[in-house]
Amino acid sequence: MSWRAAAGLRSWLLQRLSAVYIVAFLLALVFAWGGESVPFDTWRAWVAHPLVNVGLMLFLLALLSHAWVGARDVVMDYVKPVQLRYLVLIGIGLALAGLAIWSLRIVLLVGG
């Protein structure tokens, strides 16, 4: 069996790994800023730091790919007609891809 053939395992693994990263990033966020009310400029400067910037982009990608696997699973379980299924999957895929481009652009612009 090769990675190419392992479609089921790949998405399962993606879901698990992205979940671990999401939890780790959120914990780091709470650890760094938990409970504080942060002024916009401080926040912006923090996000502009290259390490945070890359970390945040990875977080957004992890979140969106996690959402993709989950939403695809729900559609596979509940939407039976093949054409409708493809339509719904394309809709979700485009929406998530749009969100990815939009959010990554914002973070990139802050990182300058």
Q: What residues make contact with other proteins under the rule CB under 8 A?
A: 1-3, 5-9, 11-13, 73, 76-78
For other proteins, the closer CB: 32 or 73: 73
For other proteins, the closer CB: 11 or 103: 11
CB of 79 to other proteins, least distance (A): 10
Q: How far apart are CA 86 and CA 23, in angstroms?
A: 31
CB of 73 to other proteins, least distance (A): 7
Q: How far apart are CA 57 and CA 106, in angstroms?
A: 10
HSE-CB of 100 using CA atoms within 13 angstroms: 16
For other proteins, the closer CB: 60 or 65: 65
Q: Residue ranges of the alpha helices (H) in 6-81?
A: 7-33, 40-48, 50-78
